[in-house]
Structure 1
Amino acid sequence: MARVSQAHLDARRRQILDAAALCFARNGFHATSMQDVLKEAGLSAGAVYRYFSGKEELIAAIVAEVLGQVRAAFEEAAQQSPPPPPDLLVASVLGRTLAARESLKVDGEPAFPRLVIQVWTETLRNSELAAVLRDGYGAVRQAWARVAEAYQEAGMMRADVPPDDVARTMIAAVLGFLAQQSLFGPTPVDVLRNGLRALMSMPDAPTHL
């Protein structure tokens, strides 16, 4: 029997993950069956179960892949001296993340923002998925904190703000932007970049609150 190449295995795995992402974005994790995924992928049960045992493994793999890519991008940025400023860094990483999944659409609109909302909703009743998400975002948060530390070392950011506070704020900005995409429709990443740039341009002012 001819040996199946790694490229073929990787392409088949990608096919399954993309099909599952579409199904989850369209109907939610709870309402999606493995039969739905098989139909979307156009594959037999044997072909899919060779890679994933069920929905839980599928959604965990999707989450781990996305957050792993984001974490790697921020870790790479932290090694630069100095790192790109937050407006450019966030826009670049989020832009690449969205572009890599641009072909996945539900009702003609990008599926990824909807998938993010579906995943967060599912964590309310799925403790295992919640743990995967906690670990993934925890790693992203640590990477962002290292970026913030690099900003402070380069004199680009005030030193009296804990790097973890910066990390949490940047994650909140990105998640909020994705939520708006899901609610109000596709929006260029430039909008987030411009908003961050405007906030960064504000001079220090006396505290009134």
Structure 2
Amino acid sequence: MPKVDDAHFAARRRQILDAAGACFAREGFHRTSMLDIVRESGISAGLIYRYFTGKDDMIAAIVAEWHERRTTLLGDDPAAGYLDVLRRVGDPGTRAELQLAVQVWAETVRNPAVREMSRANVDRPVAAVAPALTGLTDDPESLARVFIAVYQGLVLQTLWDDGLDHAAFVRAVGLLLAPLGFAEPGPDGEQ
């Protein structure tokens, strides 16, 4: 079998993960079959199995990428990055990604590997932000987790309520962050 270069390998892997992610967002992890992924990707099952051992392997890769993107979006200023992440939830182009997020959260109940990855990807930002909250509360870790719960709640509410006012939601969170010294809302409440 001829060797493929790294760029080709990465592009093919991306094609498969994008197809799997679209199927998972639409139908959920368990209602999606390998045949669905084959159809969505336009790639043969045999070739898909050269890149992934099966659906669980694809789910793990998607979860890892999903959490990596959240970490990147937070950037160097966690408060500003956090508000940007909240704003991004309101972007209509992220709906499939939000649906996939909910699927990932549901999968944590069934799949210990996904639960471990998801826990680690909550625990890392909590550990990073908690020291900055130390002077504000005697339990900075819990306060950091509250802000993660706000994000998770916004994702769910966005999927449930097409009329949700995301700008107002982000302004309200900005107002909560401002007294903590992390974000100064502008005249209209935006940072």
1:135 to partner: Cα distance: 2.2
For the pair 1:42 / 2:42, whether they are aligned, the reply is yes
3-state SS in 1 of match to 2:84: helix
Equivalent residue number for residue 198 of structure 1: 175
Equivalent residue number for residue 92 of structure 1: 84
Equivalent in 78, 87, 100 of residue 115 of structure 1: 100
Q: 1:163 to 1:60 in 2, by over 3 A?
A: same
Q: Which runs of 5+ in 1 are unaligned?
A: 78-82, 105-109, 153-157, 204-209
Contact 1:73-1:93 at 8 Å conserved across structures: yes
* TM-score, L = length of structure 1: 0.72
* Structure with more helix by fraction: 2
* TM-score, L = length of structure 2: 0.78
Contact 2:126-2:144 at 8 Å conserved across structures: yes
Contact 2:16-2:37 at 8 Å conserved across structures: yes
| Distance in 2, Cα, partners of 1:181 & 1:11 | 31
For the pair 1:174 / 2:151, whether they are aligned, the reply is yes
Equivalent residue number for residue 184 of structure 2: none
Contact 1:90-1:193 at 8 Å conserved across structures: no
**1:168-190 Cα distance to aligned partner (Å, 9 max, x none):** 01111111111112212385753
Equivalent residue number for residue 133 of structure 1: 118
Equivalent residue number for residue 22 of structure 1: 22
Q: How many residues align?
A: 180
3-state SS in 1 of match to 2:141: helix
| Distance in 2, Cα, partners of 1:58 & 1:39 | 16
| Distance in 1, Cα, partners of 2:9 & 2:38 | 17
| Distance in 1, Cα, partners of 2:8 & 2:89 | 23
1:139 to partner: Cα distance: 2.2
| Distance in 1, Cα, partners of 2:179 & 2:118 | 34
Identity %: 37
For the pair 1:163 / 2:140, whether they are aligned, the reply is yes
Q: 1:53 to 1:191 in 2, by over 3 A?
A: farther
1:111 to partner: Cα distance: 0.7
Superposed CA RMSD: 3.0
| Distance in 1, Cα, partners of 2:138 & 2:8 | 48
